[in-house]
């Protein structure tokens, strides 16, 4: 196996007390240093050729406390991307350490929603984060996004990155294609709400049907009363990973409800790929479907190629059963918010550009 030499650059000031070590996808994000301890700012490790992994630096303190690298404001930071291609040197620059500041004071890089409201749902209060372009207060084409904590500003995001949905949508509005966005944050019940089949991460109890019922029976009518009715042809549902899975599930479960489905990096593996059996014979002849995948999604270059082909085959399977399918591969894209942020503008152009008649 190739030897990878990791060289560490730390921020000014003393590092957290304890042992500095490397973790990541390739280690199952282990909290134990194991054989991946830095000595003198360096670590040498033999890793399989073609490994793909996000990696981070952590410190294990004398009392067993863990401190993970973060951004300069004490918040979460995205993982460093690692691609093993032969013997190599990887430079790891740590911007800061996660602490009690939790990212407070970080300069905003993306626009927040214009408004946030709360609706009642079977699982309790559900926040709905709303954005629309200034001067467009009547009915507009509607985009419903899952994982709403990640799609606007960075403050509530998991890793300090967002989709910058408002920025992407504003650019389309400036070009004469305005839309409204309703983003739905989710918490620790994400696997239960977004995965329509029982598996380990949702305790073998899915809540996806209750979620799909709430989207159709509560969210859409509530937005219609507030902003004016929007025909199903102008309603899009979109999400990534498990959000892509629940998007495809809702669209095929309730044909005629959503005119467009944005299936980003769909994670269809739960319950031994049960979704690929469930969808047999299901169709929505009026739906347009966007399917995409990054070419660095997986634990290895070979695995990423297999996942990309799976998404390509999904698109091919759907074509005879829906109005239109658009498939795209994100070059150099990982399974993260940065990738979905890069692909969102293309999806918005495709979605809004295909609406008839054109948005005034």
User: Would you list the DSSP string of 96-121?
Assistant: EE--TTTTTTPPP-SPPPSEEEEEEE
For residues 206 and 341, membership in a common domain is answered with yes
Q: Is residue 292 part of a domain?
A: yes
Q: Is residue 110 part of a domain?
A: no
- For the four alpha carbons of 342, 211, 141 and 267, in that order, the dihedral sign comes to positive
CATH code of 338's domain: 3.40.50.1820
For residues 62 and 183, membership in a common domain is answered with no
The phi, psi pair for 173, rounded to 5°, reads: -60, -40
DSSP state of 300: B
Which of 247-262 are b and which e, b meaning 16 or more Cβ less than 10 Å from the residue's Cβ?
Answer: bbbbbbbbbebbbbbb
Name the token pair of 258.
């959503």
pLDDT at residue 220, rounded to an integer: 98
Among the residues of the chain, which ranges form H helices?
165-174, 190-194, 208-214, 220-227, 242-253, 270-278, 301-318, 337-353
pLDDT tens-digit series, residues 174-207: 999 999 999 999 999 999 999 999 999 999 999 9
Q: Is 89 exposed, middle or buried (0-12, 13-18, 19+ CB in 10 A)?
A: exposed
Give which of 193, 229, 197 is closest to 208, Cα–Cα: 193
pLDDT tens-digit series, residues 297-353: 999 999 999 999 999 999 999 999 999 999 999 999 999 999 999 999 999 999 999
**What HEC string does 33-59 produce?**
CCCCECECCEEEEECCCCEEEEEEEEE
Q: Which of 65, 97, 129 is the last residue of a domain?
A: 97
pLDDT at residue 161, rounded to an integer: 86
Please give the tally of structural domains in the chain: 2
Q: Is residue 360 part of a domain?
A: no
pLDDT at residue 154, rounded to an integer: 83
Grade residue 155 by pLDDT with cuts at 50, 70 and 90: confident
pLDDT at residue 357, rounded to an integer: 61
pLDDT at residue 38, rounded to an integer: 98
For residues 157 and 282, membership in a common domain is answered with yes
CATH code of 87's domain: 2.60.40.10
Tell me whether the omega of the peptide bond preceding residue 345 falls within 30 degrees of 0, making it cis.
no
pLDDT tens-digit series, residues 75-124: 999 999 999 999 999 999 999 999 998 888 888 888 999 999 999 999 99
Write the Ramachandran bin of 353: left for phi over 0, alpha for psi from -120 to 50, otherwise beta.
Answer: alpha
For residues 165 and 263, membership in a common domain is answered with yes
For residues 214 and 324, membership in a common domain is answered with yes
Name the token pair of 113.
């929603």
What proportion of the chain, given as a percentage, has pLDDT over 70? 99
Q: Which of 34, 62, 97 is the last residue of a domain?
A: 97
The residues pairing with 5 across neighbouring beta strands, listed in sequence order, are: 44, 89
Grade residue 360 by pLDDT with cuts at 50, 70 and 90: very low
For residues 160 and 38, membership in a common domain is answered with no
Q: Is residue 359 part of a domain?
A: no
For residues 51 and 170, membership in a common domain is answered with no
Whether residue 258 has pLDDT greater than 80: yes
Q: Is residue 107 part of a domain?
A: no
Name the token pair of 87.
């013997």
Q: Residue 123 is part of which domain span?
A: 115-353
Q: Is residue 186 part of a domain?
A: yes
Q: Is 123 exposed, middle or buried (0-12, 13-18, 19+ CB in 10 A)?
A: middle
């Amino acid at each position: 196996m190739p030897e990878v030499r990791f060289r560490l650059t730390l921020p000014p000031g003393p590092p957290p007390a304890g042992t500095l070590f490397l973790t990541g996808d390739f280690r199952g994000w282990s909290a134990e240093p194991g054989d991946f301890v830095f000595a003198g700012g360096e670590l040498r490790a033999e890793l399989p050729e073609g490994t793909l992994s996000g990696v981070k630096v952590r410190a294990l303190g004398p009392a067993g406390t863990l401190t993970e690298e973060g951004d300069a404001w004490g918040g979460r930071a995205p993982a460093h991307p690692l691609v093993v291609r032969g013997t190599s040197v990887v430079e790891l620059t740590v911007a800061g350490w996660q602490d009690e500041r939790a990212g407070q004071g970080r300069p905003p890089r993306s626009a927040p929603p214009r408004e946030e409201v709360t609706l009642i749902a079977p699982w309790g209060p559900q926040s709905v984060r709303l954005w629309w372009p200034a001067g467009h207060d009547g009915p507009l084409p509607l985009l419903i996004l899952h994982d709403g904590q990640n799609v606007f500003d960075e403050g509530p995001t998991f890793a300090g990155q967002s989709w910058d949905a408002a920025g992407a949508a504003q650019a389309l509005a400036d070009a004469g294609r305005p839309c409204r966005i309703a983003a739905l944050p989710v918490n620790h019940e994400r696997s239960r709400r977004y995965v329509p089949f029982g598996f380990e991460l949702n305790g073998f109890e899915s809540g996806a049907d209750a979620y799909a019922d709430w989207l159709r029976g509560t969210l859409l009518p509530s937005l219609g009363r507030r902003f004016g009715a929007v025909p199903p042809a102008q309603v899009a549902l979109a999400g990534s990973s498990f959000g892509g899975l629940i998007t495809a599930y809702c669209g095929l479960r309730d044909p005629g409800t959503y005119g467009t489905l944005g299936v980003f990096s769909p994670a269809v593996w739960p319950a031994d790929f049960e979704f690929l059996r469930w969808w047999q014979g299901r169709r929505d002849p009026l739906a347009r479907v966007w399917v995409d995948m990054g070419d660095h999604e997986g634990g290895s270059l070979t695995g990423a190629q297999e996942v990309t082909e799976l998404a390509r085959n999904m698109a091919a399977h759907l074509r005879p059963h829906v109005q239109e399918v658009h498939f795209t591969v994100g070059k150099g894209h990982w399974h993260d918010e940065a990738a979905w942020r890069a692909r969102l503008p293309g999806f918005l152009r495709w979605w809004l550009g295909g609406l008839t008649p054109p948005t005034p």
